[in-house]
């Protein structure tokens, strides 16, 4: 009991500590909301209000039921009957072991995940975001492990309005927390390298001695919010990676365990990067529903500057509507800004093809992914550089197992280093081609570092003071710049 109470107290402390950062906004937005909370808990709740709140809770459960349909990964689990879902068809087979994992923290699938005990001595670092329902906090667990915590926003509009309507803070907390529980189920069902990883959670236990009912904290891997302005200043290779990761995600969503999933709120703010990899972090606004239709006119995708009409299938649903919506949103929010600019000359025709087919919705997600993977293959293998003749290196003298010091740097854009010119190359031949195209360049070094594609990082400079031994690099100097010893 003491352990559980301590966990509950620490959870409350996390909520309070992060709300301090939002104090001014909360006071302006909600006025005397905190006073209303404290008064409501002391009042006897009218039976009519409780029935209305129970109806809302049942509606939330109905939204979650489709996520409990079993799929291959859970075929070894034991399904249990849960009697409090009065809406259930008794002949339905639902994965209630997964529901218990989310609500109670039970089940073997979560034994290696974080629970309430992981939140001991948690340190809130900063508020990453707040909305109507949730608060997202950047935090460090004991030992310094970075995580992101999602909690019910006690000062949010959803919670405030619910308490105003039903005068039941605990019941409202349970109602609002269903969005977090639904998101946990979605993270379970939609596990993919480009979806944020669910590391664990801490939930209230009905009738137990654990965290207060309705208190839910979701523990996620910590990512860096996607900043498009910063991304536009990065090398093409990194921008291509973001687009490739996005297409791989959309390909998975087109045939996910839930069916074809559409991202309804498709914005860069819904994504983060973890060690350079793009990940979808907010699953609030997704839909796996198919749009019913009678004619093609019922299947119109409307965007700000374009409309598309898709065929109505013989089954009476719009064909691939979620998939096509995802593709066009990827085109207008990501590809347009990230793909064409400074694409390698040998790949521009392939990039242009992707831009045309996605911008006009002429390709499905399978064809789009194939086009991206083809570009990746060419880029990693250097096959797009076939027009670079090997003789380009004849103008350079190579010093192996050496690096330089006393460098006179120059800047190029975009570079992996703000202090000089550090670029990705497939080989010394490509580096020589780049050096020849820079008027300031007289030498370059192939370092031992590689990018995510396996390409080398090469540093380019105007001159250097002297050579130093380094078994992981090679220095290439233009022959006209190599010091010639005086003749005797």
Catalytic center residues: 265
Residues 6+ apart with CB under 8 A from 84: none
CA separation for the pair 40, 168 (Å, rounded): 6
ω into residue 94 within 30 of 0, thus cis? no
Residue 474 in contact with residue 400, Cβ under 8 Å?
yes
> Exposed/middle/buried for 187, CB within 10 Å: 0-12, 13-18, 19+?
buried
Give the Cβ contact number of residue 451 at 10 Å.
18
How far is CA 84 from its chain centroid? 35
Measured CA to CA, the distance from residue 275 to residue 270 in angstroms comes to: 17
Q: Residue 38 burial by CB count (10 A; 0-12/13-18/19+): exposed, middle or buried?
A: exposed
Cα 313 to chain centroid distance, Å, stands at 33
Alpha helices in 190-235, H assignment, sequence order: 228-231
Element of type H or E holding 140: strand 134-140
Q: Are 217 and 202 in contact (CB under 8 A)?
A: yes
């Amino acid at each position: 009991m003491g352990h559980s109470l301590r966990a509950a107290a620490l959870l409350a402390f996390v909520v309070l500590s992060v709300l301090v950062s939002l104090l001014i906004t909360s006071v302006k937005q909600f006025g005397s909301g905190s006073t209303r909370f404290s008064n409501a808990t002391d009042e006897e709740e009218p039976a009519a209000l409780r029935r209305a709140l129970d109806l809302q809770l049942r509606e939330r459960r109905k939204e979650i039921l489709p996520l409990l349909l079993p799929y291959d990964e859970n075929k070894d689990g034991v399904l249990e009957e849960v009697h409090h879902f009065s809406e259930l068809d008794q002949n339905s087979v639902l994965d209630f072991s997964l529901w218990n994992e989310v609500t109670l923290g039970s089940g073997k699938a979560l034994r290696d995940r974080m629970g309430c005990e992981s939140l001991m001595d948690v340190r809130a670092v900063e508020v990453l975001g707040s909305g109507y329902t949730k608060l997202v906090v950047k935090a460090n667990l004991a030992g310094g492990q970075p995580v992101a915590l999602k909690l019910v926003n006690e000062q949010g509009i959803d919670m405030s309005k619910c308490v105003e309507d039903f005068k039941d803070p605990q019941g409202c907390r349970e109602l609002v927390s269903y969005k977090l529980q639904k998101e946990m189920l979605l993270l379970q069902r939609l596990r993919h390298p480009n979806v944020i990883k669910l590391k664990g959670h801490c939930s209230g236990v009905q009738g137990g001695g654990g965290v207060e009912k309705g208190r839910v904290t979701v523990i996620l891997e910590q990512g860096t919010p996607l900043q498009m302005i910063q991304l536009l200043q990065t090398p093409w290779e990194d921008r291509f990676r973001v687009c490739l990761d996005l297409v791989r995600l959309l390909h998975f969503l087109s045939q996910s365990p839930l069916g074809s999933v559409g991202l309804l709120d498709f914005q860069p703010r819904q994504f983060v990067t973890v060690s350079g990899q793009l990940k979808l972090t907010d699953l609030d606004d997704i839909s796996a529903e198919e749009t019913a239709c009678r004619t093609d006119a019922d299947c119109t995708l409307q965007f700000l500057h374009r409309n598309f009409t898709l065929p109505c299938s013989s089954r009476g649903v719009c064909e691939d509507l979620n998939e096509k919506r995802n593709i066009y949103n990827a085109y207008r929010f990501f590809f347009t800004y990230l793909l064409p600019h400074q694409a390698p000359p040998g790949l521009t025709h392939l990039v242009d093809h992707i831009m045309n087919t996605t911008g006009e919705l002429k390709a499905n997600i399978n064809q789009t992914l194939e086009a991206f993977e083809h570009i990746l293959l060419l880029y990693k293998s250097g096959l797009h550089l076939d027009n670079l003749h090997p003789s380009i290196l004849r103008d350079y003298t190579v010093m192996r197992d050496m690096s330089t010091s006393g460098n006179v740097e120059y800047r190029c854009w975009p570079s992996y280093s703000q202090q000089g010119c550090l670029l990705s190359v497939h080989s010394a031949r490509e580096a020589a081609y780049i050096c020849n195209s820079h008027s300031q360049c007289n030498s370059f070094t192939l370092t031992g570092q590689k990018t995510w594609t396996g390409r080398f990082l090469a540093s380019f400079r105007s001159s250097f003071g002297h050579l130093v031994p380094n078994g992981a690099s090679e220095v290439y100097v233009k022959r006209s710049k190599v010091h010639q010893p005086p003749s005797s």
